[in-house]
Chains A and B, each alone.
Chain A
Amino acid sequence: MKISKDEVEKIAHLARLEINDLQKKKMAGQLSNILQYIDKLKDADVEGIKLSSGAAFMNNVLRDDKLQASPGPVVTLANAPERDEDFYTVPRVVK
């Protein structure tokens, strides 16, 4: 699969990345190269094979529905780059 510069821009937007024109061209080349290699997966015979999402035991892990102390805002917000007392603040969301 070949990836164009425009597609890189589209994926970058979905991933919330900002890529300048020069990088876009380089990235398109590198991604195309990687995806062309990955195309070999098309040769694998997966007819009727189930999908594995991992090697963990597939059992539910439940705990008793008991109240537990929360770390509280002092701990939770300790690393907030910007905050207003007990709230995270962000730039404008609605235009």
Chain B
Amino acid sequence: MTALWAQVFRRDVAMLLTGGRRGGAGLPVLFFLAVAMLYPFAVGPDAALLARSGGGIVWVAALLAAILPLDRLVEPDLDAGFFDQWAIRGLSEEWIMASRIGSHWLTFAVPLMAAALPASALLGLSGEQVRVVMLGLLAGTPGLAALGVMVAGITAGLRGGAALSGLLIVPLAIPLLIFGAGSLSSGGEGGIALTGAVSLVLLAIAPFAAGAAVRAARD
């Protein structure tokens, strides 16, 4: 059982990294950097303005980048019959979704946080702001990954599921955005702690919600 789960997790990481034919882990990161690069072009090179609003832009870009991998988180494997094959091997959908949240975080959030450093430089953030942004992302991205898997599970198998999942994740991610980006103006700890708390709630419910959704889609 544990061995089977470990194999599934390994495959999840490999699948999400390379993405098969659906684009791998690099795409959301490039998108994230592109937004951070475009913003100074749009608002002009006013360093004070950039430094004041840059942290929020990093958060918005992270949220938008989180939409990109949604369509390959659950649906391709559901279509190809992987979930049924795991089910007859006695691996519950909840464990599969837990594996997927972990692998999605590893392949999406870790590269994103690495890319947040050059993005912060592009936006001219100060050292202290970079520290708060990075801590906030560390606290918030697990919740974002859980949310992504949950939304992908719920919309898997629906017509237009990919577009729908993008629309669904945005309002659900607002608490993460408010506390995460808010920690920048309030100076840190409180906001980051609240971001972490939202992440924990999402991590706790996402495997069950996504697992139940996939089981319901099967009947």
Q: Do A and B bind each other?
A: no
Please give the residue numbers on chain B whose beta carbons come within 8 Å of chain A beta carbons, in ascending order. Answer: none
Q: Contact residues of A with B, CB < 8 Å?
A: none
